[in-house]
Structure 1
Amino acid sequence: MSCIADLVKNTKRSSSIWVKDMDPSLDKFAWQKGYAAFSIGQSQVEQVKNYIRRQDRHHRRVSFQDQFREFLRRYRVDFDERYVWD
């Protein structure tokens, strides 16, 4: 059985190879070191799909970093910014 960390590792590895194969000028492409994973209930699937579809438009107004900070604060997740960003 695989864990989320293995799935992320394999996805990053295979997609990095694909990106570099598709465009040799991106030979320095690399994913960030960390990742975040969240679970949802089946009843939330459509809401989450719509949320993802709107991200491009949303991030024109609010940066990912600001949104992530707000998410952590809203759900009372203790964090130290020195360890959140690459």
Structure 2
Amino acid sequence: MSSFTKLTYHAVWSTKYRKPIIVDSLRERLYEYIGGIVRQKDGVLLEIGGIEDHIHLLLHVSATQTVSNAIRDIKANASRWVNELPEIKRRFEWQKGYSAFTVSYPQLPKVRRYIINQRKHHRKLTFAEEYRSFLKRHDIEFDPDRLFEDEHFG
């Protein structure tokens, strides 16, 4: 008997300190590069979107990969690639951590629309509010004081 899987996740993470650094001139190239990373690991990127301070991916992860390894590879390779671009003047970094939620096949169109409509969605809601609502909706316990890294001065 053969084995068959289709492991689909909605993954979300932000830029370091939620800085708005995924600007228009970078966004499309970054998304294409991330798609290449996913394909290189035998995954499928179904949708990608976000705004300046965070990113959403809807992706199939290969059965030979853990979701944590897949996201680690995406984040590490994408940030390395961005930092090698000549027009990047300050260091590009992702926030530590991520969230990933399983998505059932019938829910794919709904999650895809959600990701496509990020700009419209964030006219009403900040990333931090959105992120907290995802965690609550999926019954994930978290310490609100330790949810995000904050930039410290001095």
Q: In which range does the TM-score fall when normalised by the shorter chain?
A: 0.7 to 0.9
Residues 1-86 of structure 1 mapped to structure 2, 5 A cutoff: 1-86=64-149
Deviates more, 1:41-50 or 1:65-74: 65-74
Distance 1:70 1:22 in 2: 34
Q: Deviations over 1:29-57 (max 9, x none)?
A: 11110100000101111111001011111
The alignment partner of 1:25 has SS state of coil
Query: What amino acid does structure 1 have at the position aligned with 2:70?
Result: L
Q: Please report how far the alpha carbon of residue 26 of structure 1 lies from its aligned counterpart in structure 2 after TM superposition.
A: 4.1
Listed as ranges, the gaps of 5+ residues in structure 1 are none
Q: Please report how far the alpha carbon of residue 84 of structure 1 lies from its aligned counterpart in structure 2 after TM superposition.
A: 1.1
Q: Is the 8 A contact 1:19 1:26 kept in 2?
A: no
Deviates more, 1:68-77 or 1:11-20: 68-77
Distance 2:98 2:65 in 1: 16
RCO comparison, higher one (Cα < 8 Å, 6+): 2
Greater strand fraction, Structure 1 or Structure 2: 2
Greater helix fraction, Structure 1 or Structure 2: 1
Equivalences, count: 86
Question: What percent identity do the matched residue pairs reach?
Answer: 31
Query: What amino acid does structure 1 have at the position aligned with 2:101?
Result: F
TM norm structure 1: 0.83
Q: Is the 8 A contact 1:12 1:31 kept in 2?
A: yes
